[in-house]
Amino acid sequence: MSFEISEHDVLGRIGKLDTKGGALETPALLPVVNPLAQEISPRVMFERIGCKALITNAYLIKRRAGGNEIAKIHDFLDFPGIIATDSGAYQILRYGEVEVSPAEIVQYQQSIQTDIGVILDVPTGSRASKPRAIETVNETIRSADEALKVIKKRDIAWVGPIQGGLYPDLVAHCAREMCKREFDIYALGSPTEVMEHYLFADLVDMISAAKRNIPSSAPLHLFGAGHPFMFALAVALGCDLFDSAAYILYARRGRYLTEAGTLQLGQMTYFPCRCSVCSKTSPDEVRTGSVAERTRFLAEHNLSACFQEIETIKEAIVEGRLWELLEIRCRSHPSLFEALRRTKEHRDHMARSAPSTKTKGIFFFDSVSLQRPEHSMYVERLTRHYVPPRSARTALLVPATRIRPKSPDKSVRDKLESVASGTHVWLYCPPYGVVPSELEDTFPFSQTEGLMDPDLGTVRAMAGTIEAFLAKNRIYRRLVLVRTGEKWQTDFAGICRRVCRKLGVKFSATSDHELLNGRIRILGRRNRYADKITRRRVQQHP
């Protein structure tokens, strides 16, 4: 097996996973196929819906087959694409145990020639106590060691499950231990119950704990991904593969999936979708059919909706707009929005892996957008790596214009050319807080589109950037803020005043009219005087 990455954005990436059954482009959804009862056949999934890979349960097949040998899983399911087989761990979560050992289920998966095999693990679930969670992690690691002893076919891509449930420290520990055993794919287990209870914020912590502790070159699978409205969140956090039975489980309950939520067929007037099945009928017509026909219709639509969301995510990655898509999806449900806010705790990790430049603009909407990697990346570079001019003593903050956010007004720019030595011109514009004028054409400032009337959270973050910058660069003695009369600038000036008082920096605010009428020359003379005083102090106290 090999895995090659061609595009990436945030932590999401488009990759090519080569298996003995063929190549699979990621992110990829593997629909769960129940070998005992399936309303849509795998062949229909492949030919009509374009499903390239699926996952089924090797444990259930083994029990169903009994003494009858199955030569190849592809023939048994009548599916020409890539097949992954689970080991029966979900049955442990539901029923407490399975009648098979880790070695036996590995040998069985090898005998049926699966493409992707999962070893038998012990799911933690969402209700386990910390001691019980520790037991499941230790048992999963022991199971991995037992399975590796009997793995003979290395042409199968073997999956190493990661357990730990709602305890990120245990998830991290399990991930590190699985990496020592060098599996081809790593998979985060136990998210099904977490998602059933809409604990998406906890899911963010679980995925992040796993992602940080596996090789960046390895694919990460999310077991039981569920509803398509959370796919963008999972991909942005670094998941490459998903399996889900939601398409059929929801269909059996008469539920119609969309990228933003779920609708009840019995209450629908129109189909907000033009897939191959929805475009040919109406809700009224579908409701007149039998239960089996309705279920089959909903299952096909739900599966199409899931694949459509995956394609939307891929295009967002190529366009460099995965974060924008993530914000849209997460604002469709309060629990998802809470998960989006939780990413703030992991933004440093996300920033380290995100692209350092982009060819297209990035959007900021409110203070939640500050969590996107580009903002964290810019603030870190500014506060840690940027070196201001040696002669700088006064920082002159000039607002950027609404028409061209990366540049000040032309009349103001002409006036700034006469600034005396010692005055360092900064631009301030939501959401970055401060941009040295010599960096105005660099990424991400020159590619940013944001509100010119930011919310208070963004204003505070802007002032926070200034505070961090001034605290690191103690050469500044004075900060002068130029205002154009917009209301948010009053709040910004007030916060900057408190920041300067805290750091012992003189603060004053002026209007753009005063700047254009010549006050800048006064600032220049004061700066030259300050330079003399500074030089004298350095000579006296080197």
Q: Which of 9, 86, 115, 205 is catalytic?
A: 86
Q: Which helix or strand (DSSP H or E) is residue 107 part of? A: helix 102-111
Instruction: Spell out the residues 6+ positions from residue 242 whose beta carbon is closer than 8 angstroms to its own.
Output: 27, 28, 29, 30, 221, 222, 225, 231, 234
Nearest CA to 223 out of 77, 43, 88 is that of 88
- pLDDT tens-digit map of 224-246: 888 999 999 999 999 999 999 99
pLDDT of 421: 64
285, amino acid identity = E
- The reply to whether the predicted model has a pTM over 0.75 is yes
Tokens of 28: 């990829």
* Helices (H), ranges, 320-396: 322-330, 334-342, 347-353, 373-384
Domain boundaries, the chain: 2-320, 365-540
Rounded percentage of the chain residues whose pLDDT exceeds 90: 60
- How far lies 323's CA from each of 196, 213, 316, in Å? 24, 23, 8
Residue 528 has pLDDT above 50, yes or no: no
Crossing angle for the helix pair 168-180 and 130-150, to the nearest 10 degrees? 10
pLDDT of residue 144: 95
Q: What percent of the chain has pLDDT over 70?
A: 89
Least confident range of 8-17, 381-390, 522-531? 522-531
Q: 435: closest CA among 486, 493, 395, 475?
A: 395
Per-residue tokens: 34? 């129940």
DSSP string of 408-456?
--HHHHHHHTTPPTTEEEEEE-TTTS-EEGGGTTSTTGGGEEE-SS--H
Q: What are phi and psi of 188, to 5 degrees?
A: -85, 120
Query: Which sign, positive or negative, has the C-alpha torsion 423, 428, 432, 433?
Result: positive
Q: Residue 130 — pLDDT band, cuts 50, 70, 90?
A: very high
Give the Cα separation of 228 and 517 in Å (integer).
58
CATH number of 365-540: 3.40.50.10630
The lowest-confidence range among 57-61, 168-172, 351-355, 421-425 is 421-425
Mean pLDDT of all residues in 508-530: 55
Distances (CA, A) of 371 to 3, 114, 231, 492, 500: 29, 41, 19, 20, 25
Catalytic status, residue 86? yes
Looking at residue 89, its pLDDT comes to 77
Q: Under CATH, what is the fold of the domain 2-320?
A: TIM Barrel (3.20.20)
Closest CA to 481 of 376, 398, 423: 398
Of 460, 431, 466, nearest in space to 445 by CA: 431
Split at pLDDT 50, 70, 90, the class of 416 is low
